[in-house]
Amino acid sequence: MFALHVARRYLLSNPSQTLLLIAGVALGVTVFVFITALIAGLAVRLTEQVTGNGAHISLDPPTRVARILAGPDLPVESVALVSTFQRRQIRNWPMIVDLLRSNPGVSAISPQISGSAVLIKSEAVTSVSVIGVEPQGIDAISEITPTIIDGDGDLGADGLLIGVRMARDLGLSAGQSVLLRTERGVERQLTVRGVFRTGLQSLDERIAYVSLQTARPLFVLPEGVTNIEIKLKAPDDARATARFLADATGLRATPWQEKNLNLEDALVAQGRTGTMIQVFSLISIIIGVASALVLSAYRRRSEVGIMRAFGVPGGFILWVFLLQGLLIGLIGALIGCVTGYGLCVGLEGITSPEGVPVLPIAPAQGGYVAALVLTTLGAVIASILPARSASRVDPLEAIQQ
């Protein structure tokens, strides 16, 4: 294509200017990639911090609503009373667990019996949230056993796992006995099998784990469970999966986003900020390319005039300048993507003494395709004005100048 040959010749005729222009485009793309990877990495880290020790979806029994009773034998409308003593429970939980296991997006399932209780050790008393779990699935939702600092994670028939803050408040350690009194008025002497330290105050100070079979008589639930906690392979799919599970099971399915609305708002605002920075990067690229090509078109008016005088059509001149913009944008975008990826990988390798990356950056999510396409398209758009101006040059005026 002769127009491409001419465009390449024009670019190589002033290599310093062309290199500077490509460097400017590459720098803008590097900023674009870095911001995109940083925003994505920060979102991933915040999501992991929130959901790392919690479920992505919680299944609970449907809320009981008092029914209005009306009939010919009732002079006025009456309301059927709802028992406040009977625990709401999921009776058919084995079937629901089987349904969840058939879902390829589910990574972990934990049927639980949850309730409130108090722990009593001599004169020390503290309130506690008790979670009954299957012993083999204690780490399904929260990594508990790897954080045990005293004892082990073997719950057994009368075992209890408590957090380090709770153990400190009650003066307990592994192997000691403590009295547990539940909200249902049931008491039982349990043995502390292990003390864990997760670093989360809500877990280390308030949560105690027992086996599912131990929890049944404590909370008077011989068959069902109070909730089913679910982990997903893709936490962002929690809302869609929750809607599907609610329709399939008739239970209340609560995704983690609904429990952390402030975090979701922060992530949305963060994403908008990143988008604005990306837009400004693209605008700066467009302005730079347009300015350089406008100057190039002005300096080459005499050459363009001679070509027009020899009968070269204006469409050919238009293509020459559009191809210059295309080459500048494409080459600059490719260099910027490579540079941006290298920068992100290098920054990801900088870690704190604990081995945690200093910057929450995700090099794989740098938006490279978007950067390449948008930058190239922006450079072509930026070349439209100088291309149109050059294609409309009057041959006589250009040669006289």
Of 7-11, 130-134, 224-228, 267-271, minimum mean pLDDT range: 7-11
Give whole-number Cα distances, 54 to 103, 244, 289, 323, 348, in Å: 19, 20, 49, 54, 26
Strands 148-151 and 124-133: unpaired
Residue 98 has a pLDDT of 92
pTM: 0.67
For 207, the enclosing helix (H) or strand (E) is strand 207-211
Mean pLDDT of 42-53: 78
Answer for the pair 238, 260: CB distance below 8 angstroms, yes or no. no
Mean pLDDT estimate for the chain: 83
| Distance from C-alpha of 284 to C-alpha of 28, rounded to nearest angstrom | 7
Answer for the pair 142, 129: CB distance below 8 angstroms, yes or no. no
Report the candidate in 326, 285, 271 with the shortest Cα–Cα distance to residue 30. 285
Report whether pLDDT(41) > 60: yes
Give whole-number Cα distances, 254 to 239, 375, 387, in Å: 8, 41, 56
Residue 242 has a pLDDT of 93
Report whether pLDDT(80) > 50: no
Residue 194 has a pLDDT of 93
Residue 150, phi then psi, degrees to nearest 5: -150, 125
Residue 79 has a pLDDT of 47
The residue assigned the tokens 């005039």 is 305
Residue 82 is given by DSSP the state: -
The residue assigned the tokens 């291309």 is 387
Degrees to nearest 5, angle at CA 64 with 239 and 255: 15
pLDDT tens per residue across span 275-326: 888 788 888 878 877 777 777 666 666 666 666 666 667 677 778 878 888 8
pLDDT tens per residue across span 346-386: 988 888 776 777 888 889 888 899 889 988 888 888 888 77
